[in-house]
């Protein structure tokens, strides 16, 4: 009887790779493709207005990442196809030199990181607004304020800023 009851219950599947972070790979692939596709088409057909839509890719990647650090890292990862297209010459020729390569790499990856962070920021802002509209109070992380006591001497005041409470001079 016990074995028959166990067979009726659905089996719980555990993720074998529990150490891996929760990454939305569909969003990463779509965002990276959009970030590379729009500049490629804009260059091939001389439609410069399409360059604006390239920002959709890293914004979407950052929005689905949901945390600051993950959105920045995934924004950089999502920018690598555009970097490949730029270095392969598919986005036009450029003067190959060590400094030009460094500037192009930092520029493309930096923009991917910035737009990824902004996408993550939009996600957090939307969650706060949804919580406020639902009547749930969302508090930001509390900031610790140092207790400052004025002793009358500048030297003692500066020293007291860095000492623990038990060792402060009065």
Q: Where exactly are the structural domains of the chain?
A: 21-133, 140-170
- For residues 170 and 159, what is the distance between their CA atoms, to the nearest angstrom? 11
Q: CA angle at residue 46 from 97 to 43, to 5 degrees?
A: 35
Range name among 80-84, 125-129, 139-143 with the lowest pLDDT average: 139-143
Instruction: Choose from 17-31, 34-48, 121-135, 154-168 the range with maximum mean pLDDT.
Output: 34-48
- For residues 55 and 35, what is the distance between their CA atoms, to the nearest angstrom? 6
- For residues 113 and 111, what is the distance between their CA atoms, to the nearest angstrom? 5
- Helix ranges (DSSP H) in 46-67: 56-65
pTM: predicted TM-score of the whole model, two decimal places = 0.67
Cβ-contact 96, 47 below 8 angstroms: no
Give CA torsion, residues 123, 86, 25, 77, to 10 deg.
-70
Band of pLDDT at residue 67, cut at 50, 70 and 90:
confident
pLDDT tens for residues 119-137?
A: 999 999 999 898 888 876 6
| 159 three-state secondary structure | helix
């Amino acid at each position: 009887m016990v074995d028959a009851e166990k067979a009726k219950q659905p089996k719980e599947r555990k993720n074998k790779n529990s150490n891996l972070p929760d990454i939305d790979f569909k969003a990463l692939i779509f965002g990276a493709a959009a970030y590379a596709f729009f500049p490629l088409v804009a260059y091939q057909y001389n439609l410069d207005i399409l360059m604006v839509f390239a920002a959709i890719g890293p914004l979407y990647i950052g929005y689905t990442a949901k945390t600051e650090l993950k959105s920045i890292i995934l924004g950089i990862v999502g920018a690598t196809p555009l970097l490949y297209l730029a270095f392969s010459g598919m986005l036009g020729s450029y003067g190959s030199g060590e400094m030009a390569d460094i500037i192009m790499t930092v520029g493309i990856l930096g923009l991917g990181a910035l737009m990824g962070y902004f996408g993550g920021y939009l996600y957090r802002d939307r969650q706060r607004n949804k919580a406020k509209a639902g009547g749930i109070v969302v508090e930001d992380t509390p900031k610790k304020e140092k207790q400052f006591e004025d002793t009358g001497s500048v030297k003692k005041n500066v020293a007291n800023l860095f000492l623990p409470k038990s060792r402060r001079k009065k």
